[in-house]
Structure 1
Amino acid sequence: MTKPERAAHVSRRLEELYPETPIPLDHTDSFTLLIAVLLSAQCTDVRVNQITPALFARANTPQAMMKVPEEEIREIIRPCGLSPQKSSAISRLSRILVEEHGGGVPADFDALEALPGVGHKTASVVMSQAFGVPAFPVDTHIHRLAKRWKLSSGKNVVQTERDLKKLFPRDRWNKLHLQIIFYGREYCSARGCDGTKCPICRELSERKTPAKS
């Protein structure tokens, strides 16, 4: 198969497997989504969803969050890991949203990426899932699968994102990145790919035995 043919096959199979793509992080608006995505760095979505109810019960708007002592935020989010950095980012970005953005989350990549603790991947998730702007957030899991499926030979997530955006229609980006995440969790994890069970790897590579790469 050519690379475009492989991409078309992946897109078709993922749509069959995951016609519905609920957002894995529990949230109620763009601000709570932003905080949840920030907390998900080096932490599972399941753990984040266990932590955010207590945090959002304490404060679920930038105006309220900026008034919560940073030490209190740190204690609530401690199970997510990196709590000193994340609590500082949450406190500071909440103040910036109030003072510079009228208390709202900006629907703008540059403005989002200028916030403390918000990188390109986090901004892409917020833009795609909160505002419906086409984006293709690429984390290490999507990077891994793109390599396994020979859709990208990128050495990093930046190059992989660039390659995937060229291969897939713009109107598929937002849903597709979630479909790939769901697929990786169910069939093709970081621990390895069992070629006897993983449908897409089996179809694209004719892999018949388990593999770790």
Structure 2
Amino acid sequence: MTKKQKIDKIKKSFLQHYQDAKTELKYRNIYELLIAVMLSAQCTDKRVNIVTPALFAKYPSVDILAKADIDEVKELIKSVSFFNNKAQNLIKMANQVMNNFAGNIPTTQEELKTLSGVGQKTANVVLIEYFEANYMAVDTHVFRTSHRLGLSDAKTAIRTEEELTKLFKTDLSTLHQAFVLFGRYICKALKPDCNICFVKDFCISKNNFKPV
């Protein structure tokens, strides 16, 4: 089997198994989605979904969040990892949106990346989920599973993103969500469920790969 044939088979399998893949984060608009994605860094979606209802109720819009008291935001998200830094970034982000984007959440990768607490992965996830943009975002699940399948041997998430984008080219938004769900529920870091894996024939290692 050629490398192209392998890529095509893996891509087809993921698109068949996860044709309607979406984030498990709960949100109602792009403002809430951005906040949820920012909070989800190094934290589970389940935990984020527990804290965001109260956060969104108290700060339902970016202009209100921009005026928030830092200690009150910290209290609402204290069960989320790195809540001190995330609280600061949320308020800074809101002020930047108000001052630089007339109160509208930006909708391009480069503009999103100018916001505090928003790197390329966060920007891509927002664009993938909200607009189904043709981007790949690499979190721990995507990194681990793509390395186990021999799709990448890159040491960093950004480089892995570049390699996967070059390999797959299209349907990247669905593939990103598919790899996340696959890594979360099947190709788990510890004790992967290989018996139900639909791409086990392509697996080259069960090591728990992590970006440097």
User: Under a length normalisation based on structure 2, what TM-score does the superposition of the two structures give?
Assistant: 0.92
Aligned to 1:138: 138
8 Å contact from structure 1 (residues 151, 164) kept in 2: yes
- For 2:23 and 2:164, the matched residues in 1 are separated by 20
1:89-108 aligned within 5 A: 89-108=89-108
Aligned to 2:32: 32
1:154-173 aligned within 5 A: 154-170=154-170, 172-173=171-172
Aligned to 2:202: 204
Q: Please provide the CA RMSD for this pair.
A: 1.6
Aligned to 2:63: 63
8 Å contact from structure 1 (residues 193, 212) kept in 2: no
CA distance 1:53–1:204, change in 2 (3 Å): same
Residue ranges of structure 2 left out of the alignment (5+ in a row): none
Q: Give the superposition deviation at 1:156.
A: 1.1
Q: Give the superposition deviation at 1:2.
A: 2.8
- For 1:19 and 1:109, the matched residues in 2 are separated by 24
Q: Give the superposition deviation at 1:77.
A: 0.4
- For 1:3 and 1:160, the matched residues in 2 are separated by 17
8 Å contact from structure 1 (residues 192, 212) kept in 2: no
After superposition, the C-alpha distances for 1:183-213 in whole angstroms (9 at most, x for unaligned) are: 1122111114343332312x21488xxx444
Paired residue type of 2:133: V
Aligned to 1:174: 173
> SS of 1:196's equivalent?
helix
Residue ranges of structure 1 left out of the alignment (5+ in a row): none
8 Å contact from structure 1 (residues 30, 130) kept in 2: yes
After superposition, the C-alpha distances for 1:36-62 in whole angstroms (9 at most, x for unaligned) are: 000001110001011100000001211
- For 1:197 and 1:132, the matched residues in 2 are separated by 28
Paired residue type of 2:64: A
Q: What fraction of aligned residue pairs are identical, expressed as a percent?
A: 32
Which 4+ stretches in 1 moved above 4 angstroms? Answer: none
Aligned to 2:77: 77
- For 2:204 and 2:121, the matched residues in 1 are separated by 32
Aligned to 2:112: 112
After superposition, the C-alpha distances for 1:3-62 in whole angstroms (9 at most, x for unaligned) are: 322221112111222222132111111111100000001110001011100000001211
CA distance 1:195–1:105, change in 2 (3 Å): same
> SS of 2:53's equivalent?
helix
8 Å contact from structure 2 (residues 89, 116) kept in 1: yes
8 Å contact from structure 1 (residues 121, 138) kept in 2: yes
8 Å contact from structure 2 (residues 186, 196) kept in 1: yes
> SS of 1:95's equivalent?
helix
Paired residue type of 2:28: T
Paired residue type of 1:156: T
Q: Give the superposition deviation at 1:108.
A: 1.7
